[in-house]
């Protein structure tokens, strides 16, 4: 079984993020869910991004590093939307990553000043008309990344929702989320 660190999206560590982690736990995986927002959750994306700006993205990144320091190095890093930055950064900069699962976002590996680590598989998920994933270049970054990685997978789902994995939000898509869960569980059995 895999050990996973799952970073939440900009609305915080919501009940839906915890529910996703619980589905992985139910399959026998150990899943850590660091709360980068100190217990704050937000009703919409704008409020959550506003909080991150108020606290400072640098402070959020310091919390990411601190969360990782207390964990083993041989983990799978996973993130949803804003949490992808944390997952991708740690995968690329902290030795020992077993894999990465990037949901609803992706940035070019060059963002972190170093190439993707050799032998570390990645799985990326997003919707084809999501204004953030498809509309802001993440899907293109994901296509480039999975071509560079020996075991890279990109799964694109029909729809225009952002944060479709989070069952506690109105943007939730049960069918797409079930497919993501199934594919992530398959990925975790292989790493």
Only one residue has tokens 């999501």, namely 130
Position 154 scores a pLDDT of: 98
Distance CA 57, CA 111 (A): 15
Position 117 scores a pLDDT of: 96
CB neighbourhood size of 189 (10 A): 11
Position 70 scores a pLDDT of: 85
Position 57 scores a pLDDT of: 87
Position 100 scores a pLDDT of: 98
Q: What are the average pLDDT values for consecutive 10-residue runs of the chain, which has 191 residues?
A: 97 98 98 96 95 92 90 95 96 96 96 93 98 96 95 97 98 98 98 94
Tokens found for residue 170: 């109105």
CATH of the domain at 10: 3.40.50.1820
Q: What is the CA radius of gyration of the chain?
A: 15
Say what the pTM is.
Answer: 0.96
Position 130 scores a pLDDT of: 98
- Domains of the chain: total: 1
Position 47 scores a pLDDT of: 96
DSSP assignment string, 17-69: HHHHHHHHHHTT-EEE---TTTT---SSHHHHHHHHHHH-HHHHHHHHHHHHH
Strand, coil or helix: what is 157? strand
Beta strands across the sheet bearing 76-80: 30-32, 3-7, 76-80, 99-103, 122-127, 152-157
Domain that holds residue 91: 3-190
Position 61 scores a pLDDT of: 87
Task: List helix spans (H) across 94-153.
Answer: 138-148
Distance CA 83, CA 59 (A): 14
- In the chain, how long is the greatest CA-to-CA distance? 39
Vertex 92: Cα angle to 89 and 148 (nearest 5): 115
């Amino acid at each position: 079984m895999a050990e996973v660190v799952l970073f939440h999206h900009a609305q915080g560590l919501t009940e839906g993020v915890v529910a996703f982690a619980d589905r992985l736990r139910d399959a026998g995986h150990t899943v850590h869910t660091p709360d980068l927002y100190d217990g704050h959750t937000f009703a919409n994306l704008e409020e959550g991004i506003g909080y991150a700006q108020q606290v400072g993205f640098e402070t959020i990144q310091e919390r990411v590093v601190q969360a990782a320091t207390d964990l083993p190095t041989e983990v799978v890093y996973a993130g949803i939307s804003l949490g992808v930055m944390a997952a991708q950064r740690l995968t690329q900069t902290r030795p020992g990553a077993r894999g990465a699962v990037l949901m609803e976002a992706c940035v070019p590996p060059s963002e972190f000043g170093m190439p993707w680590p050799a032998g570390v598989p990645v799985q990326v998920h997003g919707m084809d008309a999501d204004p953030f994933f498809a509309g802001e270049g993440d899907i293109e970054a994901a296509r480039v990344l999975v071509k560079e990685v020996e075991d890279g997978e990109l799964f694109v789902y029909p729809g225009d929702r952002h944060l479709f994995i989070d069952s506690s939000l109105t943007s939730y898509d049960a069918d797409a989320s079930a497919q993501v869960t199934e594919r992530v569980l398959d990925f975790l059995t292989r790493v």
